[in-house]
Amino acid sequence: MLSLLTTIATAAPASAGGTLYPFIFMIIMLVVLYFIMIRPQRKKEKADAEMRKNVQVGDEIETIGGIVGIITKVEDQTVVIETSSDRCKMRIKKWAISQNVSATEEAKKAEAAKAAEKAEKKSKKPADEDKPIEKD
54 touches 40 (CB < 8 A): no
Q: Residue 80 has what pLDDT? A: 96
2-47: per-residue pLDDT in tens?
565 566 556 555 555 578 888 999 999 999 999 999 999 999 999 9
Angle at 101 between CA 114 and CA 49, to 5 degrees: 100
Smallest Cα–Cα separation from 55: which of 83, 85, 76?
A: 76
User: Over pLDDT 90: what percentage of the chain?
Assistant: 53
Answer yes or no: is pLDDT of 120 > 90: no
Instruction: Indicate the CATH number for domain 54-120.
Output: 2.30.30
What are the residue boundaries of the structural domains of the chain, listed by start?
2-47, 54-120
